[in-house]
Chains A and B, each alone.
Chain A
Amino acid sequence: MLHKLFMYEALREAIDEEMARDKRVFVLGEDVGHYGGSYKVTKQLHTKYGDLRVLDTPIAENSFTGMAIGAAMTGLKPVVEGMNLSFLLLAFNQISNNAGMLHYTSGGNWSIPLVIRGPGGIGKQLSAEHSQRIEAYFQAVPGLKIVACSTPYNAKGLLKAAIRDNNPVLFLEHVLLYNLKQEIPKQEYVLPLDKAQVVREGSDVTIITYSRMLHHVMQAVKQLVAQGMNPEVIDLISLKPIDLETLVTSVSKTHKAIIVEECMQTGGIAAEVMAQIYSHAFDELDAPIRRLSSKDVPTPYNGYLEQACLVQPTQIVEAVKTLMST
Chain B
Amino acid sequence: MLRYLRVLCLRDWLLDHTVAWRQYARVRRSLPLTVTFTPLQIGLPCASFATRGDRVWSSTIRKRTFSTENESSPSTTDVAPGPAVGDRAQRSTTPSLYPGGGDKLSGSVSNSAGVVKATEETLRQMNLFTAINSALSCALESNPKVLVFGEDVAFGGVFRCTSQLQKRFGRQRVFNTPLTEQGIVGFAAGLAAMGYRPVAEIQFADYIYPAFDQIVNEIAKYRYRSGGQFNCGGVVIRAPYGAVGHGGHYHSQSPEAYFLHTAGIKVVIPRDPFTAKGLLLQSIAEDDPVIFFEPKALYRAAQAEVPLSKYVLPLGRAEIVRPGTDITLVAYGAQVRVLLEAAQVVAREDKIEAEVIDIQTILPWDEATVCESVARTGRCIVSHEAPLTGGVGAEVAARIQEECFLDLESPVMRVCGYDMPFPLVHEKNYLPSAEKVVQCIRDCLNY
Contact = CB atoms under 8 A, between A and B. Distances in A.
A97 B249 CA distance: 9
Contact of B401 (A92, A104, A278): A278
A169 interface: no
Interface in B364-415: 364, 386-387, 389-395, 397-399, 401-402, 405, 408, 410-414
Contacts of A101: 249, 421
A270 B412 CA distance: 15
Nearest to A288: B405
Interface of B: 206, 209-210, 212-213, 216-217, 220-221, 224-225, 249-250, 257-258, 260-261, 263-264, 363-364, 386-387, 389-395, 397-399, 401-402, 405, 408, 410-414, 419-421, 423
A218 B411 CA distance: 30
Contacts of A127: 225
A129 B210 CA distance: 17
A104 B213 contact: no
Given A142-B420, A291-B402, 4 more contacts: A274-B402, A275-B398, A278-B411, A296-B263
19 contacts: A62-B210, A89-B216, A97-B250, A100-B421, A101-B249, A104-B423, A142-B387, A266-B363, A267-B261, A267-B392, A267-B394, A269-B390, A272-B398, A279-B397, A279-B414, A288-B401, A289-B401, A297-B224, A298-B221
A140 interface: yes
Contacts of B394: 267, 271-272, 274-275
Given A267-B390, A275-B412, A93 B209 contact: yes
Given A128-B225, A140-B258, A271 B398 contact: yes
Contacts of B397: 271, 274-275, 278-279
The range of chain A's interface size is 35 or more
Contacts of B263: 264, 266, 296-298
Nearest to B399: A271
A271 B257 CA distance: 12
A100 B206 CA distance: 14
Interface string A270-301: 11101100110010010111110000111001
A206 to B, nearest CB: 16
A129 B221 contact: yes
A131 to B, nearest CB: 11
Given A142-B387, A279-B414, A298 B220 contact: yes
B184 to A, nearest CB: 14
A278 B410 CA distance: 9
Q: Lowest 7 A-B CB distances belong to which pairs?
A: A267-B260, A139-B390, A93-B209, A140-B390, A288-B405, A92-B212, A101-B421
Nearest to A139: B390
Contacts of B423: 104
A90 interface: yes
Contact of A267 (B213, B257, B411): B257
Nearest to B413: A279
B249 A266 contact: no
B420 A104 contact: yes
Contacts of B217: 86, 89, 128-129
Contacts of A275: 393-394, 397-398, 401, 412, 414
Contacts of B405: 285, 287-288
A97 B209 contact: yes
B220 A90 contact: no
A272 B390 CA distance: 6
B420 A143 contact: yes
A90 B401 contact: no
A92 B213 contact: yes
B398 A291 contact: yes
B209 A142 contact: no
Given A128-B225, A142-B419, A279 B216 contact: no
A310 interface: no
Nearest to B223: A298
A96 interface: yes
Contacts of A271: 390, 394-395, 397-399
A268 interface: yes
A31 to B, nearest CB: 20
Given A270-B398, A275-B397, A240 B220 contact: no
Nearest to A291: B398
B421 A278 contact: no
Nearest to A92: B212
